[in-house]
Structure 1
């Protein structure tokens, strides 16, 4: 009896010893599941747009803290330029720029565009971030302010006072308001003010107001369709120029995002494409281009 009792006690101990880790593991998994599914846990919505630019417009996104983004924006000539110009491929506008995240909310950027030999700089601040859970924020809001200066040489006319540096400046102010409705669909609105210190004719305005809209629809794990459009509010500029419109495809690859674009605007920065778009889409004034963005970690967040 003693040997039988000893065997029973030994077997029971082994079973309890094996069950204890399993129960502990189940408890841990239950806790993790509870944390990830807890509707009261506040989570910031990520990747409303995949890049800091959509087609013509900027998105609400900024590089992460300590991240340096290098962008190459290339835009060929119009498709209706004919075979002699290889349907626009013999002509091109180019912008090179750098964007740096001072924090996860604040970014600075500088760039240089071939059109007008223009230098520009901007600051973008993520004032609001869409979130879920307790105290959820339904939208994201980024504020953008930029300045651009044209450096092309102007012809001098005898007896006419030359243009000083301040007359070459233009400023952009935008509120970028966006919401990610699902993992596949994001929409952005962009109230915009362009101020130009100098305009050439009475057909233009120093202050141009516009309302922009953009959309991103993901169609696969690595591909998304994008579009943006800017409606210039009534005035001399709206009567003279056309609204900028663009359609694009985002392709995510290892380490960078490759964007293909079709648009009626040759300009690559807001002070160019919002008030100065002249292309008529229905006449074939469509520019093909692309943007390549590459991110580099300058300062790691890991301590």
Structure 2
């Protein structure tokens, strides 16, 4: 069957139109696919990781936990005050030490044990990651970790009557509320209650309330500046002791984080640095110290 001669120009024009339309249709399909992918990505809810690089900041605990099946071993060392003079080698002749283990029972729950040379103190604690900061659909603006600890001193006191076991115990409770504002900046608030079963005199408070604040500012890929501060609310304690202040530098070195710091608090647990800080930061009562943390994976994730 022969095609009519007048139909040839029409078929030729139709073919040219289809050839011209094909790239346009392909481009439109690609554009729609890209928009669909961007919509899917924006709808994903992702957990914000590494608000802080370690489970400790300077004095403070951070919202971070080791993770399920991970055992963290911490060495915390703090020398004497820098203004103690050359005779004490500017504090290096004096030191207190705390060793601790932290284990992630789950991705949210961590338990730990520690021992400080200061007053020969043992401490145990639990941390629970109640809320995690997320991005995407229905974002959560902050992370919240709940912290509770108890400590007992085993020091022999020179008192007429030996202290009972219960009188040697102190409890600490904190809500750690943090937000990672950018890959470089993280901030944390820490409402705090310290309960002491024993105080030496009537005016001293068994319950001491404080509000802590901390931040981390990244300066290079593997280093960051840190700071933490506790403001005392309890009247007698605030009048007779100092607010704890610390400044530090975090250095990531492969499998562990090395933290250098100066602070006006000698103690490294909440029992000491919240209600019993005596140093004046701006008068040179600065304790130089460091923390080394090493993680061991005991139960690899499958």
Q: Which residue of 1 aligns with 2:10?
A: none
- Residue 172 (structure 1) aligns with: 172
Q: TM-score, normalised by structure 1?
A: 0.87
CA RMSD, 1 decimal: 1.9
Counterpart CA distance in 2 for 1:57 and 1:156 is 32
- CA contact under 8 A between 1:204 and 1:240: conserved in structure 2? no
1:226 aligns with 2:226: yes
Structure 2 matches for 1:72-221, cutoff 5 A?
Answer: 72-157=75-160, 161-221=161-221
Q: In structure 2, how many angstroms separate the alpha carbons of the residues matched to 1:263 and 1:163?
A: 31
Give deviations 1:50-86, integer Å, cap 9, x for gaps: 0000010000000010000000000000000001111
Structure 1 residues 91 and 188: alpha-carbon distance in aligned structure 2, compared to 1, 3 A threshold? same
SS at match of 1:276: coil
Query: Where does residue 254 of structure 2 map in the other structure?
Result: 254
Q: TM-score, normalised by structure 2?
A: 0.87
Matches of 1:198 and 1:190, distance apart in 2: 24
Partner of residue 269, structure 2: 269
Match for residue 241 of structure 1? 241
Per-residue CA deviation, residues 92-145 of structure 1 (Å, 9 max, x unaligned), is: 010000000011110001000000100000000000000001121110000000
Q: Structure 1 unaligned runs (5+)?
A: 1-22
Q: How many matched pairs?
A: 273
Pick the structure with greater CA Rg.
Answer: 2
Contact 1:229 1:243 in 2 (8 A): yes
> Is the 8 Å Cα contact of residues 78 and 285 (structure 1) preserved in structure 2?
yes
1:264-295 CA-partner distances (Å, limit 9, x unpaired) = 00000001100000001122100000000000
> C-alpha separation between the residues in 1 aligned to 2:240 and 2:202?
10
**TM superposition shift of 1:205:** 1.3
Cα deviation 1:25-55 (Å, max 9, x = unaligned): xx9xx78x93797111000000000000001
SS of the residue corresponding to residue 275 of structure 1 reads coil
Deviation of 1:189 after TM superposition, in Å, equals: 0.2
